[in-house]
A and B are shown apart, each in its own frame.
Chain A
Amino acid sequence: MMQASVISLRTPLTADVCRELSAGDRVLLSGSVLTARDAAHRRFADTLRRGGRLPVSLQDETIFYAAPTPTPPGRVIGSIGPTTSGRMDPYTTALLGAGLRGMIGKGRRSPEVVEAIRKRQGVYFAATGGVAAVTSRCIRSVSLLAYEDLGPEAVLRLEIVNFPLIVVNDACGGDLYEMVLKIARTND
Chain B
Amino acid sequence: MEQVREIPCHEITETVRRLFIAANTELPPDLLKAIRDAREAETSSVACSILDQILDNADVARRESLPLCQDTGLAVVFAEIGQDVHVVGGDFSLAIREGVRQAYRDGYLRKSLCDPLSRANTGDNTPAILHTEIVPGDQIRIIAVPKGGGSENMSGVSMLLPAAGWEGIRQHILQKVAQGAANACAPVLVGLGIGGAMETAVVLARRALLRTIGDPNGSDERLRDLERVLLADINALGIGPQGLGGRTTALAVHVEMAPCHIASLPVAFQLQCHAVRHMEAIL
Contacts and interface: CB of A to CB of B under 8 A. Distances in A.
Contacts, number: 146
Interface in A138-160: 150-153
A38 B119 contact: yes
Contacts of B150: 83-84, 106-107, 129
Interface stretch (A14-22, A90-98, A112-120, A174-182): A174-182
Nearest to B114: A39
A129 B66 CA distance: 15
A136 B49 CA distance: 18
Size category of the B interface is: 35 or more
Interface string B84-113: 000000000000000000000000111110
Contacts of B236: 187-188
Query: Taking chain B's interface residues, is the majority helix, strand, or loop, or is none over half, making it mixed?
Result: loop
Interface in A13-42: 26, 38-39, 42
B132 interface: no
Contacts of A177: 182, 243-244
B71 interface: yes
Interface in B237-281: 237-240, 242-245, 273-275
Nearest to A42: B119
Residue among B64, B238, B239 with most chain A CB within 10 A: B238
For the side of the interface on A, what is the size category?
Answer: 35 or more
4 nearest interchain CB pairs?
A107-B183, A131-B57, A129-B185, A133-B61
25 contacts: A1-B245, A4-B45, A78-B66, A79-B68, A80-B70, A83-B70, A83-B150, A106-B182, A107-B150, A107-B182, A107-B183, A108-B243, A130-B185, A131-B54, A131-B56, A131-B57, A131-B68, A133-B57, A133-B60, A177-B243, A180-B238, A180-B239, A180-B245, A184-B237, A184-B239
Given A71-B108, A78-B66, 18 more contacts: A2-B44, A39-B119, A69-B108, A69-B109, A81-B69, A83-B71, A84-B153, A107-B150, A108-B243, A130-B54, A130-B69, A130-B273, A130-B274, A134-B56, A153-B121, A166-B46, A184-B237, A188-B237
